[in-house]
Structure 1
Amino acid sequence: MRFHHSKNPSRIALGVLTVGALVVLSSCASSTPEPEESAAGVDFPVATGSGSPTVLDDAEWESLVEAANAEGELIVYSSPPGTEETFAQFSEDYPDITVTVVREPTSDLIARMDQEIDAGVAGADVTWHSQPAWAATRAEDGALNALQLSPEAAELGWGEFATDDYYLQIMANPYLLGWNTTLGEPVDNIQDLLAKAGDTPVGIAEPISQNGMFQLQTWMDEYGEDFLGELAALNHTVIRSTTPLAQSLAAGEVGYAILMQPGLLDQLKEEGAPVEQIVPDDGLVTGFAYGPMTLAGADHPAAAQVFVNWLMSQPTQQLLVDSHGPLAVPIILDGTENALAWDEVQAVDDAEWPQERRDEFRAVWDSYFLP
């Protein structure tokens, strides 16, 4: 299934603060935060999961921006690497609003937000990660605010990329193949890598989420279930996440990297590391969507809505492509340079990967990769 603009609820990624451990909150019964009316009388309805985002008229949008400036702050919980610097640009366009970015892996961010939501503690105003199933569940709980689109965003057609009223697909990152130029040869796709790797060490990101599982399953569907056996026969190391995988590739500990995430190798290459990466050319590219969700009960609900609309603007989409590419953006912004076509990246459908299926896939994976 490719990224599209259906309203399937299962479809769903300055000051800088990097958190190394979760805040431990006292246990209490789950409670749904109640959104409050912001300064300037702007209303923020709780997401219902039953319709499209609200479209504001010019006067309502001006009131929202006024309220956001009055709040003066914005807290974003984000999982992709490098978003601290990217999101700091928001304050260039809205200088009255100071942005703080808390960046952690998606699983840690979700655990942190679940604790804060259940404890009734305000934390993130906006979160940006690649787990749409979490958004669907929390929208049903009333823990997300419905999104509000500016007249400009609505005219561009962003409402067509909404999942009900709480989530918008903003960008899609593909999984990449990487190689160390002193150890490995350039490759075009996974079959090319299998043919060229030989005894060269290969790093494989562990498929912890359905995203990585879906890429592996896509290859298995094309090349047969023994594809995992071909991977396991390589001189391989399974590495838990893509950050240490990128570091291992740069250090020459592995010569090839499979299931590489965009953004990591670019920075290492700028620092002089002998690394290259490629979007596979075989039409079997999968990846993960990133989109913003605004938290009900947040301290800065107006700034959160303005930030979401900022993400949808043409300049910001270009900034995302330039800073976090390769990636795909919706076709409505076809003037965005160097972006992948929106249908080049196949999206995982969370509804097709419930916990039972993920457990079944891991059992097959473990049969090849565990001692």
Structure 2
Amino acid sequence: MLNINRRLLLGMAAGSAAARFGVARAAEMRPHEKELYEAAKTEGQVTWYTGQYQAEPSEAIGRGFTERYPGITVNVVRSTSQVAFQRLSQDMRAGVAQCDVFSSTDHSHAAFLKQEDRLMPYRPRNAEGLIKAAKQAGDPDGYFQVTYLGLFLMGRRTDQVSEADAPASWKDLLEPKWRGKIAVGHPGYSGAITSWCLAMRKLYGWEYFKALEKNQPQIGRSSADPVTLLNAGERTVGAAIPSATTLLSISRGNPIKLIYPTDGTLMVPAPSGALKNAPHPSAAKLFMEFVTSPTYYEVTRPFFSESLRPEVAPPPGSRPLDEVAMISADPAELERDGQEVKELWRDTFGV
């Protein structure tokens, strides 16, 4: 199996087991938060470039921040992770400072920004309360922190694909019977799909994708686009789809069921970091405190996001993490080979 991050898996499992009670959203601010809040109120806003969540939860996070810290609005700039990074790169080339905090599902983005001295060396105090594995997955020098854990797997339309006929593994997607029935995202837009490509290449070689192309998958941009196609009935199987978005869709009555691949569910630890040239530096630090706080995971829980705080219960309907076989893409491999697999994808699929 590919690079199973056991520390993160065990830490998440321990966090889930320890989650028994919610915490009040209006919990008393810690002294360092109060100090930052007073400074951030004079700035009045914070701009967040994010590819970690879809639009609805991203806006909910913005509202949750303002509810906890009245007088400071969040300018949510939501896109896929690759598009968010391209936008930030354009800002940097133009010498324009617009983004305060950047969040991506592609670890190589944070590594590159750190290498280019573009991130603020700020370790949020609230990160002390994250589960051990999440703290270990953050930058050791404090330039970015893992704030989101994405699980990416498969899904099926229950009214069109029976459990007996459904693919059980990633490799099952190569069977001819799935021709014209699969939906998937694009590594040129989604950091999670880039990780998935690297994971599949490590398991099965790039021949896997050449075989998948023969089944003519419908290719979107975001990893969540296939969920939309499943909801609409345009495709019957989704590949490398996010568990959170899918569980939210299921909760709204859509006939979809998650499939945990026998060859491993993809785990993507996703980083957030404040920019060194943030136009609202105090608000940027306060936002980093927020995204590592219990309140943040309370806000995201209704959207079925995994909790990285032991005080906040895991999302309803999710499988216990200690029961899930997981695979992941190595951060160094992402940084080194991410662009290569994007080019290979375009050569193979023509998009």
TM-score (norm 2): 0.73
Verify the 8 A CA contact 1:180 1:249 in the aligned structure 2.
yes
Aligned to 1:337: 314
Please name the residue that 1:27 is paired with. Answer: none
Q: Which runs of 5+ in 2 are unaligned?
A: 9-29
Call closer, same or farther: CA 1:145–1:3 in 2, change over 3 Å: farther
Q: After superposition, give the CA deviation of every residue in 1:173-199 in whole Å (9 maximum; x if it has no partner).
A: 111211122222234543566679556
Q: Distance in 2 between matches of 1:320 and 1:3?
A: 24
Aligned to 1:252: 233
Given the alignment of the two structures, is residue 316 of structure 1 paired with residue 299 of structure 2, yes or no?
A: no
Cα shift readout 1:264-304 (whole Å, capped 9, x = no counterpart): 444544554333333x1525122322222111222221111
Question: Shift of residue 85 of structure 1?
Answer: 1.5
1:303 aligns with 2:303: no
Structure 1 match to 2:128: 154
Report the 3-state secondary structure (helix = DSSP H, G, I; strand = E; otherwise coil) of the residue aligned with 1:99.
strand
The verdict on how the C-alpha distance between 1:241 and 1:171 changes in structure 2, with shifts beyond 3 A counting, is closer
Report the 3-state secondary structure (helix = DSSP H, G, I; strand = E; otherwise coil) of the residue aligned with 1:134: helix
3-state SS, counterpart of residue 170 of structure 1:
strand
Q: Residues 118-197 of structure 1 correspond to what in structure 2 (within 5 A)? A: 118-150=93-125, 152-154=126-128, 160-163=136-139, 164-186=141-163, 187=166, 188-190=168-170, 197=177
Query: Is the CA contact (8 Å cut-off) linking 1:210 and 1:358 kept in structure 2?
Result: no
Per-residue CA deviation, residues 95-117 of structure 1 (Å, 9 max, x unaligned), is: 22222211112222112112222
**Local SS of the residue matching 1:286:** strand
Per-residue CA deviation, residues 309-356 of structure 1 (Å, 9 max, x unaligned), is 12212342243344143x4x55x6376334754996433224224566
In structure 1, C-alpha distance between the alignment counterparts of 2:45 and 2:191, rounded to whole Å: 34
Match of 2:262 in 1: 282
1:114 corresponds, among 89, 92, 115, to 89
Letter in 2 for 1:336: A
SS at match of 1:70: helix
Q: Which moved more, 1:166-175 or 1:216-225?
A: 216-225
Aligned pairs, how many? 314
CA distance in 2, matches of 1:322, 1:344: 25
The CA distance in 1 between the partners of 2:95 and 2:347, in whole Å, is: 42
Cα drift, residue 123 of structure 1: 0.9
Moved more, 294-303 or 201-210: 201-210
Say if 1:234 and 1:87 are closer, same or farther in 2 by CA, change over 3 A: same
Q: Is the 8 A contact 2:137 2:146 kept in 1?
A: yes
Q: Structure 1 residues 231 and 146, CA, compared in 2 at 3 Å: closer, same or farther?
A: same
> Superposition pairs for residues 69-88 of structure 1, below 5 Å?
69-79=41-51, 80-81=53-54, 82=56, 83-88=58-63
Query: Which 10-residue stretch deviates more, 246-255 or 158-167?
Result: 158-167
Letter in 1 for 2:142: D
Aligned equivalents of 2:193, 2:336: Cα separation in 1: 14
Please say which of residues 165-174 and 352-361 is displaced more in the overlay: 352-361
The answer to whether the 8 A contact 1:69-1:96 is kept is yes
Structure with the larger helix share: 2
Judge conservation of contact 2:46–2:283 (CA < 8 Å) in 1.
yes
Q: Is the 8 A contact 1:174 1:285 kept in 2?
A: yes
TM-score (norm 1): 0.70
Match of 2:330 in 1: 349
Relative to structure 1, the CA distance from residue 193 to residue 293 in structure 2 (aligned partners, 3 Å threshold; closer, same or farther) is same
Q: d(CA) in 2 for partners of 1:356 and 1:217?
A: 8
Are the equivalent residues in 2 in contact too, given 1:175–1:286 (CA < 8 A)?
yes
Q: Determine which structure has more spread, i.e. the larger CA radius of gyration.
A: 1
Q: Is the 8 A contact 1:2 1:347 kept in 2?
A: yes
Q: Percent identity?
A: 21
